[in-house]
Structure 1
Amino acid sequence: MYSEPEDLGLQSLLAYGVTFRDSCFAELLPVAEGIKRRAYELLAPLSRGVVVLSTCNRFEVYLDSPAPGRSEEVIRSLLKAPWRLEGEEAARHLLRVAAGLESQIVGEDEVLGQVRDAWLETRRAGLTSELLDAVFHSAISAGARARRETRISKGVLGYPQAAVELGTRALGDLDGRRVLVVGAGMAARAMLRHLCTKWRPASVIVADRNPARASEAASECPGAKAISLAEVNAIDSVDLALVAIKGGPRPELTNLRSRCKVLVDISTPPASTLPDYTAREVEAFVEESARARLEEVPKVEALLEEELDRLKAFLKRKSVDRYLSQIMRVVGLIVEEEARVTAKRIAGGEDPHEAVLTALNSTVKRAFFPVLSYIREDPDSRGHLARELARRYESMLSLRGEGYGGVPEDKA
């Protein structure tokens, strides 16, 4: 009995989710990991494939051919007021996510890795599908291309990174420089990560009111030294001082300006005296960077549409390949059957040449009968297929050479 291959197309794709834009997201965040596990447990049996993308800014579920009704019930039992996207819109959304267009900070890089990790984790567990593999691979490729071919991720994305970049702008670069970071909170840690990821300073000192916290923050930079805030006055000089500490002006930092070439203080109000750059200048720098990235959005959107078209073309080819594979399977069965009949004829005394010739003619007629009858059924709309096939068969004859029977050789 004929069994039609499962179609491979975006019409089978469905996405649900809540993000930082939704009021209910804050309630979801603390329990996201548990909901993620439940989503896989409940939805995997109800679909060909499932991928859950869970980050600090979004919780999204991508499904291939979910069971009607039942999958929707599961989603709504897990998520409060989720949005729903189907087919091409679901794929387009994932491409936008990977490119950073749906991020809280447009163009941020981290989300591309999060999309990749979510897919690979699920793939290793055997829970994806051919469709989801194609869609996620396309999204990752599109995200990488967006960052490579546009400036969507160029520039500074947050105040701590901007503070480091302003210091870099003033000094030229930070390789081989002596840097002091005052503070041990999240902002100071972000400064340290950005500093030691992008540059190779000669030395880094981390100072805080709590020496233990300073030591903990210093772990962000290999080789960094931790000191107490009171010890800052004992430092001879540094090239760059970065300050991010709460509590207003600090007496320990009164004379810091005289012992550094550039002083950037993003504390509010400033903790140091007469800094070169304060939170106000840093904010302007971030806004300037954001405007430049937003100008790139139309370029990225055009690029994503190209990638979406490529994805749709790829899925069409894969769908056709499935049918062609089924055709070749049937032809293979015909060949095996004719081979058995031919062997019996030869064993019964029939001339081998005549037996093989009869088998080949029978194989060709049986294999081509569905194609020829399909064309003859409607010559008005299918006649062009006959013309194209005739042209291609004639071109095969022109390729024949010595010892070559007319079937194009595999050049691989």
Structure 2
Amino acid sequence: MRPHRAGAPAALQDLPEPHSCRPLAGSDRRRPTRAAARRSVRGGTRAHDQRDGHRPTAAAVARHSDRSARRIAMLTFVGTSHHLAAIEAREQLAIPGEAMPDVLARLGERFGAGALVNTCNRMELYVPGSYARADLVDFLTEATGAERELIEQSCIDLHDNDVVRHIYSVASGVDSMVLGEYEVLGQVRAAFSAAVAAGTDDAILSRLFHTAIRTGRRARSETEIGRHAISVSSIAVQQARLLFPDLEHATVLVIGAGEAGRLAASALVDHGVREVLVVNRTQSRAEALAAELGGRVLPLDELARAMSQADITIAAADTPEPLVSRDAVEHAMSNRAGRDLLIIDIGMPRDCDPAVTEVNGVTYYDLDDLQAIAAEHHAARANELEHVNAIVDEEAARFFQWWEQLQVMPTIAALTERAEQVRTAEVGKSLRRMGLSDEQQSQLDLLTKAIVKQLLHDPISALRERGDNEDYVLAARRLFRLEDAFDALDLDTIEDDAELQ
């Protein structure tokens, strides 16, 4: 049978924190996608088509026009999540953990910089600069091996300010399957760490991800969004109690020895389960988990026998193909004397053949089913959304202020360089006529530098404060005759300087 929607226990305060999504596996695993399960989404507005794959040069960014100063392109995003695509589609887009370094290397070759947030419930590509949606869809098609049509139907694209607000919302937990869950913050951090390790980070991504993490921390410390949040682990307990009110007499089977399975099984043990069986490909990891849970290990080739003994099965294995088939479940049920079997499949891709729902006496949940249950508890924390969104708005405003300063940095750099050129030339002329000693020349050099610094202080401060006014920046360029100075500037160096500031 498909999972029933019975009412939830009134109190979930004592349930454990949300689980961590384990690294995904199974690069060759391509399940058939049910067309009816695909959720089409509208395509977003496309950015200017920039297909050469290179970031803008300083000349392209800062060259003036008669009407306005050209702006630096900020960010492009294409991605999907449990909000947009059914689990059948998300399985197609999952990138195995072991494949991520190679995928990021190709991402760097294609775009110069970028990051991938790849979790149980989302696949998101972040790239600095302005690109057409098609450019990022092309890359995801190559990286995942999924059909282009599926990616077009499942993904949305965002640009610039919308990208910033989106990742801040993700890190804050308000875009999660379980509202306010904490583990997504670690997943955002891990995504940036992977980009750093692959060398695909830059100043913009560094700022974006570090401020997203800060936003997520503030959301949880300054609001109640994460307080008493339910999780996959707590849902497992909830649904197990519906079928087996006395958990002390229930046996739990854990397939896989990763973090997700460990947390779900631990929650059940904390609520009374005494008998735990662990099946895993790696014996040492199975033994470690069994020791932690007070359970025992069975070899993988005895999985069918283990399922016939277990009342609750947590499927969280890291395998390229489903471990649990319909036939295996049907065989297990034939040896259970009519006892019900609960299967909670938290694998991505799924570890069980969805056809197990056709077996009498089986209640099966996959991640989409868990999402539906989590939605029932959404209202309990929904009143905190206003407070979290205020934090997101505040942090986004800070990012945009930094971004505007970054855009005015070429003008400031050109002004500083022009002033130094004039100072050096004029001091050089004077020194040749004055016959000063080395010490006097050094003092004169320091004096003139201090004078120039004082003279430029107010103009530079004004540019920083009003850098969002394109006419103001353009006027400064014309007043100081900086139009020809930009071609010599290095935008990467300017961004690095802005990041340090």
TM-score, normalised by the number of residues in structure 1: 0.58
Q: Residue 143 of structure 1: CA displacement?
A: 1.1
Structure 2 distance, partners of 1:188, 1:24, is 22
Structure 2 distance, partners of 1:90, 1:4, is 25
CA pair 77-287 structure 1, distance change in 2 beyond 3 A: closer
SS in 2 for 1:108: coil
Q: Residue 345 of structure 1: CA displacement?
A: 1.1
1:14 to 61, 73, 76: 76
Structure 2 distance, partners of 1:38, 1:126, is 12
The equivalent residue for 2:429 is 341
Structure 2 distance, partners of 1:132, 1:219, is 38
Structure having greater relative contact order (Cα 8 Å, sep ≥ 6) = 2
1:185 aligns with 2:235: no
Structure 1 distance, partners of 2:436, 2:284, is 92
The answer on whether the counterparts of 2:78 and 2:137 sit within 8 Å (CA) in structure 1 is: no
Structure 2 distance, partners of 1:159, 1:356, is 70
Structure 2 segments unaligned to the other structure (5+ residues): 1-56, 63-69, 143-147, 240-247, 298-310, 314-331, 340-359, 363-372, 460-470, 477-501
Q: Residue 104 of structure 1: CA displacement?
A: 1.8
* One-letter amino acid of the counterpart of residue 74, structure 2: S
* One-letter amino acid of the counterpart of residue 138, structure 1: T
The equivalent residue for 2:124 is 60
Structure 1 distance, partners of 2:264, 2:78, is 36
* One-letter amino acid of the counterpart of residue 55, structure 1: T
Structure 1 distance, partners of 2:173, 2:263, is 20
The structure with the largest alpha-carbon Rg is 1
Structure 1 distance, partners of 2:292, 2:171, is 34
The answer on whether the counterparts of 2:254 and 2:278 sit within 8 Å (CA) in structure 1 is: no
CA pair 41-19 structure 1, distance change in 2 beyond 3 A: same
* One-letter amino acid of the counterpart of residue 78, structure 2: Y
CA pair 134-209 structure 1, distance change in 2 beyond 3 A: closer
* One-letter amino acid of the counterpart of residue 142, structure 1: T
Structure 2 distance, partners of 1:76, 1:288, is 33
Structure 2 distance, partners of 1:41, 1:108, is 30
CA pair 224-128 structure 1, distance change in 2 beyond 3 A: closer
The answer on whether the counterparts of 1:218 and 1:225 sit within 8 Å (CA) in structure 2 is: no
The equivalent residue for 2:200 is 127
1:326 aligns with 2:414: yes
* One-letter amino acid of the counterpart of residue 79, structure 2: G
Structure 1 distance, partners of 2:160, 2:415, is 28
CA pair 348-91 structure 1, distance change in 2 beyond 3 A: closer
CA pair 189-52 structure 1, distance change in 2 beyond 3 A: closer
Structure 1 distance, partners of 2:266, 2:75, is 39
1:93 aligns with 2:166: yes
CA distances 1:209-249 after superposition (whole Å, capped 9, x unpaired): 99999997673375543369xxxxxxxxxxxxxx8469699
The answer on whether the counterparts of 2:168 and 2:216 sit within 8 Å (CA) in structure 1 is: yes
The equivalent residue for 2:382 is 294
Q: Residue 64 of structure 1: CA displacement?
A: 1.1
CA pair 248-148 structure 1, distance change in 2 beyond 3 A: farther
The answer on whether the counterparts of 1:14 and 1:63 sit within 8 Å (CA) in structure 2 is: yes
CA pair 10-143 structure 1, distance change in 2 beyond 3 A: farther
Aligned pairs for 1:202-351 (under 5 A) are 206-208=275-277, 219-220=288-289, 223-226=292-295, 244=312, 290-347=378-435
SS in 1 for 2:158: strand
SS in 2 for 1:184: strand
* One-letter amino acid of the counterpart of residue 17, structure 1: G
The equivalent residue for 1:407 is none
* One-letter amino acid of the counterpart of residue 125, structure 1: A
The answer on whether the counterparts of 2:93 and 2:123 sit within 8 Å (CA) in structure 1 is: no
Aligned pairs for 1:112-123 (under 5 A) are 112-123=185-196
CA distances 1:256-298 after superposition (whole Å, capped 9, x unpaired): xxxxxxxxxxxx989xxxxxxxxxxxxxx97885432223222
The equivalent residue for 1:390 is none
The equivalent residue for 1:147 is 220
SS in 1 for 2:78: strand
The answer on whether the counterparts of 1:46 and 1:71 sit within 8 Å (CA) in structure 2 is: no
1:44 aligns with 2:108: yes
Q: Residue 14 of structure 1: CA displacement?
A: 0.8
CA pair 96-188 structure 1, distance change in 2 beyond 3 A: closer
Structure 2 distance, partners of 1:56, 1:12, is 28
Structure 2 distance, partners of 1:24, 1:205, is 35
The answer on whether the counterparts of 2:276 and 2:290 sit within 8 Å (CA) in structure 1 is: no
Q: Residue 206 of structure 1: CA displacement?
A: 3.7
Structure 2 distance, partners of 1:216, 1:296, is 40
Report which stretch shifted further, 156-165 or 132-141.
156-165
SS in 2 for 1:220: helix
1:71 aligns with 2:143: no
The answer on whether the counterparts of 1:184 and 1:214 sit within 8 Å (CA) in structure 2 is: no
The answer on whether the counterparts of 2:108 and 2:199 sit within 8 Å (CA) in structure 1 is: no
Structure 1 distance, partners of 2:278, 2:103, is 45
The answer on whether the counterparts of 1:51 and 1:61 sit within 8 Å (CA) in structure 2 is: yes
Report which stretch shifted further, 204-213 or 42-51.
204-213
Q: Residue 85 of structure 1: CA displacement?
A: 0.9
The answer on whether the counterparts of 1:99 and 1:144 sit within 8 Å (CA) in structure 2 is: yes
Structure 1 or 2: larger helix share?
1
Structure 2 distance, partners of 1:158, 1:77, is 32
SS in 1 for 2:77: strand
CA pair 132-301 structure 1, distance change in 2 beyond 3 A: same
The answer on whether the counterparts of 1:204 and 1:224 sit within 8 Å (CA) in structure 2 is: no
The answer on whether the counterparts of 2:280 and 2:286 sit within 8 Å (CA) in structure 1 is: no
1:29 to 70, 81, 91: 91
CA pair 248-339 structure 1, distance change in 2 beyond 3 A: farther
CA distances 1:334-381 after superposition (whole Å, capped 9, x unpaired): 3332332232112399xx89x969x959x86xx87xx7xxxxxxxxx9
Q: Residue 47 of structure 1: CA displacement?
A: 3.3
CA pair 145-348 structure 1, distance change in 2 beyond 3 A: closer
